[in-house]
Amino acid sequence: MSQESVVDLLAELVAFDTTSDRSNLPLITFIEAYLARHGVASRRVTDATGEKANLYATIGPVDRPGVMLSGHTDTVPVTGQAWRVDPFRLTGEGERLYGRGTADMKGFLAAVLAAVPMMVEADLAVPVHLAFSHDEEVGCVGVRTLLADLAHQPVRPAACLIGEPTSMRPATAHKGKIAVRLHVRGKACHSGMAPEGVNAIHAAARLAAWVEETAAAKALRGPFDARFAIPHTTLQVGTIQGGAALNIVPQDCRLDIEIRNVAEDDPEALLGELMAFAASLEAEMRETSPEAGIRLERLSDYPGLSMDDEHVLVAFILSLLDSSELERIGFGTEGGLFQQQLGIPTLVCGPGSMAQGHQPDEFVTLDQLARCQAFLTRLIEALSGPEARRRLAVGDLLATDTA
């Protein structure tokens, strides 16, 4: 597995603009053709529109559980960002490789694809599954059709590694998230007669104040999870839009709110408390205008990831790395969905840092890609040979005893 092949593949992947509002099918077609050249069959799991797809493949024996390497193909937009280089053309400067998605997370995809020839040639006793998803950046939306597909398969992976950028340190936990939009409908009138109207922005401000006060209470009283740098549930208003002119009492306003919860906190209960406050505010608004109201739109949600640090998968992955550090990451992944919906033990570990993800001049370093290559080489070796099945089954990594 040469570093040149990883860089070449990364250049190919970066050249596809897979911003989440675009189709990812050209990239999926490229990966399908690449796998086919190496004799690997794959299958698409498309969304309802047919314009986007997940891709799934198995290398090695297909009749037993294995280790899944998972990553998303979409990226965040470059709109409004000041890039020095073309974001869709890989640019190397010293140790750094610049381009949209290099860190999050096409660097991992390139390393995995570069390892495919080695996987094919190896005597894999335990299969490697490849899972590439779409629309992760907009709330882990796309992978759900793949989850439904895997749920009906006779054999599913026994373990999952998601290659989000963690500087090649395995992460055992991240928070869950709920994102909602509240549409506030008031009653417009001339600002000189403001008491006859219902000010939608004022109502939205009171909702925002509730969010701020609840966030402060969580910071003070918890519950707390010391594994995280910010050890409590957070709430925030991310955007607020409303009003037409200063001399018009605003009729409409909307605000986007997110909840990022630790495992000990119930985000649905928090959302229920928010909507109970909204209902009381709505009743107050309707005393002036029966048409006034507050409507909830659910934007996205995904569960948190919470793995026991002593789980056998953690020990197995650490044995293949040159670091013994465990991470608890502040960003979300598809890991909680794999863990909760399919019962697959999941870790997050990949090249690069999220400090560079989503930023202009996003980059991954050659050293990080090399470390990922070394890890994948050791993983393939650990899954190969006549003793691999027995060794992993005895260690309880496999879902069933295949010894």
For 302-310, what is the mean pLDDT?
Answer: 92
Whole-number pLDDT of residue 322: 79
Whole-number pLDDT of residue 2: 60
The Cα 89–Cα 403 span in angstroms is: 47
Domains 3-174+304-394 and 176-302 share a fold: no
What is the pLDDT confidence band of residue 403, given thresholds at 50, 70 and 90? very low
Phi, psi of 9, rounded to the nearest 5 degrees: -65, -40
Among the ranges given (28-37, 113-122, 187-196, 315-324), the one the predictor scored with the smallest mean pLDDT: 315-324
Scanning the structure block, which residue is given the tokens 């796309």?
142
The Cα 35–Cα 57 span in angstroms is: 9
Average pLDDT, rounded, for the chain: 94
At residue 227's C-alpha, the angle toward residues 181 and 327, to 5°, is 95
Whether the Cβ atoms of residue 257 and residue 246 lie closer than 8 Å to each other: no
Checking if the pLDDT of 25 tops 90, the result is yes
| Residue % of the chain over a pLDDT of 90 | 90
The active-site residue out of 32, 74, 164, 327 is 74
- Is there a cis peptide before residue 165, judged by omega within 30 degrees of 0? no
176-302 architecture in CATH?
Answer: 2-Layer Sandwich (3.30)
Whole-number pLDDT of residue 393: 73
Checking if the pLDDT of 105 tops 60, the result is yes
**Is 3-174+304-394 assigned to CATH 3.10.310.40?**
no
Q: Which of 337, 346, 351 is nearest to 140 (CA)?
A: 337
Checking if the pLDDT of 134 tops 80, the result is yes
Amino acid (1-letter code) at residue 401: D
What is the pLDDT confidence band of residue 324, given thresholds at 50, 70 and 90? confident
Write the secondary structure of the chain as one string of H (helix), E (strand) and C (coil).
CCHHHHHHHHHHHHCCCCECCCCCHHHHHHHHHHHHHCCCCEEEEECCCCCCEEEEEEECCCCCCCEEEEEECCECCCCCCCCCCCCCCCEEECCEEECCCHHHHHHHHHHHHHHHHHHHHCCECCCEEEEEECCCCCCCCCHHHHHHHHHCCCCCCCEEEECCCECCCCEEEECEEEEEEEEEECECCEHHHHHHCECHHHHHHHHHHHHHHHHHHHHHHCCECCCCCCCECEEEEEEEEECCCCCECCCEEEEEEEEEECCCCCHHHHHHHHHHHHHHHHHHHHCCCCCCEEEEEEEEEECCEECCCCCHHHHHHHHCCCCCCCEEECCCCCHHHHHHHHCCCEEECCCCECCCCCCCCCEEEHHHHHHHHHHHHHHHHHCECCCHHHHHHHCCCCCCCCC
Whole-number pLDDT of residue 64: 87
Q: Where are the domains of the chain?
A: 3-174+304-394, 176-302
Among the ranges given (53-62, 97-106, 266-275, 325-334), the one the predictor scored with the smallest mean pLDDT: 325-334
The Cα 363–Cα 367 span in angstroms is: 12
Task: Name the packing angle between helices 200-221 and 267-286 (round to 10°).
Answer: 150
Name the pTM for this structure.
Answer: 0.89
Whole-number pLDDT of residue 3: 62
Checking if the pLDDT of 339 tops 90, the result is yes
Whole-number pLDDT of residue 401: 42
The active-site residue out of 104, 136, 164, 327 is 136
Whether the Cβ atoms of residue 114 and residue 9 lie closer than 8 Å to each other: yes
Checking if the pLDDT of 400 tops 60, the result is no
The Cα 71–Cα 392 span in angstroms is: 24
| Residue % of the chain over a pLDDT of 70 | 97
The Cα 7–Cα 302 span in angstroms is: 32
Give the total residue count for the chain: 403
Q: Catalytic residue at 74? A: yes
Read off the pLDDT of residues 347-368 as tens digits, 9 standing for 90 and up: 999 999 999 999 999 999 999 9
Reported as half-sphere exposure (CB side, CA atoms, 13 A), residue 56 has a value of 19
The Cα 268–Cα 319 span in angstroms is: 38
What is the pLDDT confidence band of residue 402, given thresholds at 50, 70 and 90? very low
Six token digits for residue 356: 């560079």
Whether the Cβ atoms of residue 120 and residue 35 lie closer than 8 Å to each other: no
Read off the pLDDT of residues 42-95 as tens digits, 9 standing for 90 and up: 999 999 999 999 999 999 999 889 999 999 999 999 999 999 999 999 999 999
Q: Catalytic residue at 213? A: no
For 111-134, what is the mean pLDDT?
Answer: 96
